Amino acid sequence: MRPVTGLDRAGVQWMFVAIGVALIVVAGGEAVSLRRARARIDSLQAQALDARLTQQQLENHLAHERATGEALSLELARVRGSDGSMRTADAGRASAAQPTLTLTPLGTRGARPPDATVAQPAGAQSIQLRLVLPRRRPASSATYAVAIRTWSGGETLWQRSGLIASAVDGKPMVTTFITGDVFAAGAYEIALTAGDPPSDVAAYEVAVASDFVKVKGKR
Name the nearest CA neighbour of 64 among 170, 150, 146, 182.
Answer: 146
**Domain end marker among 96, 117, 137:** 96
| 102 and 88 in a common domain | no
pLDDT > 60? residue 89: no
∠ at Cα 183 (182, 186), nearest 5°?
140
Q: Are residues 22 and 68 in the same domain?
A: yes
3-state secondary structure of 129: strand
Question: Taking the model in full, what pTM does it have?
Answer: 0.52
pLDDT score at 190? 92
* pLDDT value, residue 60: 67
Q: Give the domain extent around 84.
A: 1-96
The pLDDT value recorded for residue 131 is: 92
Whether residue 105 sits in one domain with residue 211: yes
Whichever domain contains 187, its CATH number is 2.60.40
pLDDT at 3: 59
Mean pLDDT of the chain, nearest integer: 76
Check whether residue 134 and residue 190 sit in a common domain: yes
Are residues 91 and 183 located together in one domain of the fold? no
pLDDT of residue 81: 55
Tell how many helices (H) and how many strands (E) occur in the chain: 2, 9
* pLDDT per residue as tens digits for the range 105-131: 988 877 888 877 566 776 677 888 999
For the residues 24-40, what does the mean pLDDT come to? 86
